[in-house]
Amino acid sequence: MSALFEPYTLRSLVIPNRVWMAPMCQYSAAPVGPDAGVATDWHFAHLAARATGGTGLILTEATAVSPEGRISPADLGIWNDTQVAALRRITDFIKEQGSVPGIQLAHAGRKASTAAPWLGGAPVGPEAHGWTPVGPSPLPFDDGHPVPHELTTEEIRGIVDRFRDAARRAVEAGFQVAEVHGAHGYLIGEFLSPHSNRRTDEYGGSFENRARLALQVVDAVREVWPEELPLFFRISATDWLTENDEDEREGWTVDETVRLAAELRAHGVDLLDVSSGGNAPRARIGTGPGYQVPFAERVRNETSLPVAAVGLITEPQQAEKILTEGRADAVLLGRELLRNPSWAQQAARELGADIRVPGQYLRAV
């Protein structure tokens, strides 16, 4: 049997294969009004197509736990019950196709309030439904970005509560996997990294203090997330910075990722989704096929926490080799699934594996 198409069990949940869809923002929700953050027909069609295409686990885009936690005004949210109802329609359909629906719970922190990428991605103000972003320290993400409001300890506790409430709503919406977004320079990742966190209180300075928010959020989500269902955490394994980078403070490192992975496991996380970068806009990143897989492999080798690998994984044999060599437990595809919603079915044919195909599409097999 192909390793890529072996079922994978986490807690009591069986995911039918190891081809998983990474969260990818669609910037397609209403920005204001009663439908702000509500999933639309676009989101349904986008996620449903990957389910009919055989993807085992489908993670939604970064879904904001509060309005100011959106990356853009057009992002999905899960801070009210109207949003829950729209998401339930999507999760029901995904399950009907034999796939597993998952949700990424997120807060964008200092990288919030920006335009969609095809509109330039620059920060937007009130005239375009924007707001003042927040962060661990009053440090803008980049030139031309606003100085974020430095969160107080009371406000941090409020954000932890928002994650707990969002997880409770995610259960109501029918999701079977929850992922806490701690990667790509968004709020939790901002707290983790000394590049963006210059606090001197209990949330800054030492590794233990910088990791405090991540662990508090995980604890809050785990309080309300069903014991029988798995919880993921997405991490940027490195900021791709060193102390020798000109004009850059040293950032989060792979060593710290391994250390955090062990802590996350002890707090009820079942799998680490290992990405990298996103917190320093001018970091020098060497990309190539599977360039982030070594980070996942190291976590897997040095801890007992299962991992999923990401990053320019595009070919079936490449994905199969990552699993058979024990470098990861699953692969998450992003842009390749944008290009080809039926990638999983095509990969199964290439690898000689069985996969569910909707009856309506059997003529194409």
In the chain, which ranges are continuous DSSP H helix?
41-52, 81-96, 153-172, 187-192, 207-210, 212-224, 254-266, 293-302, 316-324, 335-339, 343-351
**Contact yes or no for 227/12 (Cβ under 8 A):** no
Phi, psi of 330 (to 5 degrees): -160, 165
**Contact yes or no for 101/174 (Cβ under 8 A):** yes
Q: Give the gyration radius of the chain's Cα atoms.
A: 19
Burial 176-198 (b: 16+ CB within 10 A, else e): bbbbbbbbbbbbbbbbbbbbbbe
186 as an active site residue: the answer is yes
Rounded Cα–Cα distance for residues 194 and 283 (Å): 14
**Contact yes or no for 83/139 (Cβ under 8 A):** no
- β-pairing verdict for 13-15 and 19-21: unpaired
Distances in Å between the Cα of 77 and the Cα atoms of 91, 114, 288, 328 are 15, 15, 33, 30
The greatest distance separating any two alpha carbons of the chain, rounded to the nearest whole angstrom, comes to 63
**Contact yes or no for 22/343 (Cβ under 8 A):** no
**Contact yes or no for 52/358 (Cβ under 8 A):** yes
Q: Which of 8, 27, 186, 203 is catalytic?
A: 186
Rounded Cα–Cα distance for residues 172 and 159 (Å): 20
Residue 260, SS3 per DSSP: helix
**Contact yes or no for 33/360 (Cβ under 8 A):** no
Q: Which residues are catalytic?
A: 186
